[in-house]
Structure 1
């Protein structure tokens, strides 16, 4: 769609995906949606339908036959993509940094300059790009982490060092995916990437170096440094303990099995069912023991390291707790809608 990221409101642009300012979520006009839905149905060619969908994000649905149908209010939450592979994935991988790529940066002693609402790799979301091999998927988060590192001040990197790091840790396809998610233009005649001592230049040929240059140009438009305190959540010790909890915890057989080497590149991409098991069982157990216990007592509720980790724990649990109910009722509602569509409106299940 042309920048549309929501079926309910008028927000546009992938950079708005994690925008939590609800005042900007202006509902879409129901009559306008109905108009374009009808136009989609009456379109004579596939090209017309494609244009309508790309510009207005609307297709025809038999539910439009119901006069009271309001698609901005009567929707079912996509539990798999929105919650498990969306919110849970983002919070664990990018906020808490509970993965193997984050500790490597900490071990280098490098500082982060800013945070960014990065989009995780989903091949279905970018069908126009070459599909990444499974072993290269973890490199996406490594590139994204590198782009957030400080370029000025103590424990920072030079542009040449960032260039070399990106060149070493990613393939052309990985870099292309990150460029695509940032919606950067591929138009680039000559780019000079300068450090204190030397410069690198690339031409406009869409090669690996071209994508690196695009990303560094974007990076220079972001904060170069930060004095913000980086809470050490994704330490090697924490990741190792989570893996121990996964290995040692006895779970019901109906829960999805999670890779015992979670957080490492060899574990591959975590599936929706695995995120559900992690957020409902393994993460609560591991985080409560490590961040919520101080020799049998609760950590101090202050700005100390342990106090901040306790706040991170409280925030995480407040995020995870509603998901169980949402997933249960979400599944029930989906099943009910399927039966209504099939029995009442005579819409076959495979067409929904």
Structure 2
């Protein structure tokens, strides 16, 4: 008698990847809206929650949801690795033919997913959400976001769409390409643009956070912006060269002026300490800026050559029997 054949591995049509960090207040609001959206999708689905080292009851609530709904899977990272790494972990475990990435704060409305699926079924491999309005965000944050996206678009080696975040749908082929990229300084919306394929956007108005506190502080947003700029542009390195040339030009002009003042305006105070101090401070600033720019790139090279894993897992549920 032949042995029974192994049970087939679960192969969902849709995977929804949602990173979580201290989101116990938002989960009771998020899950019912996800349920309503999943009911509209034709085909089996899975929801992958990625607990990014939360310090509240987020993981306990996710375990409860897993007991109630077998479509819920989760990964719990051993510590807080950051939003981009948490999304990366979810992408590496996602099994769907279409993979949706969204934040848990409900600023990315789950109700937009069916429209994304419709575009995917029409033949687009990447469907990203483009923000047309940021509700209840202060003017400074809106101004900084507006300026950064347009600056990055001008400086980056690839065209990264403006006013877009990580909220998107990606075809299985796109996810496989992203998973094959070993780099550690990950700026996923830039990588998503770099891989190519047919891409389109869906406009939406971004709602305020439904509950809890904002996780992307100004410091984290600035760090993500620097990652995006350094990862997709070599212009900062050229900037160091331009600053060096500029300082040389200024030094030449100052030398000519000092020569002129010494010969034709012998009593001018500008030939003394003030001129020397200005030159020293200017050259020192150029050197420090150049070293800082080089340090950003060298630091990323150092992170890459160490070869450490992107993350470590403390707990996994919903992927039993899958080879990893």
Give the number of the structure whose alpha-carbon radius of gyration is greater: 2
Structure showing greater relative contact order (alpha-carbon pairs closer than 8 Å, 6 or more residues apart)? 2
TM-score of the superposed pair, with normalisation by structure 2: 0.30
TM-score of the superposed pair, with normalisation by structure 1: 0.28
From the two aligned structures, give the one with the greater strand fraction.
2
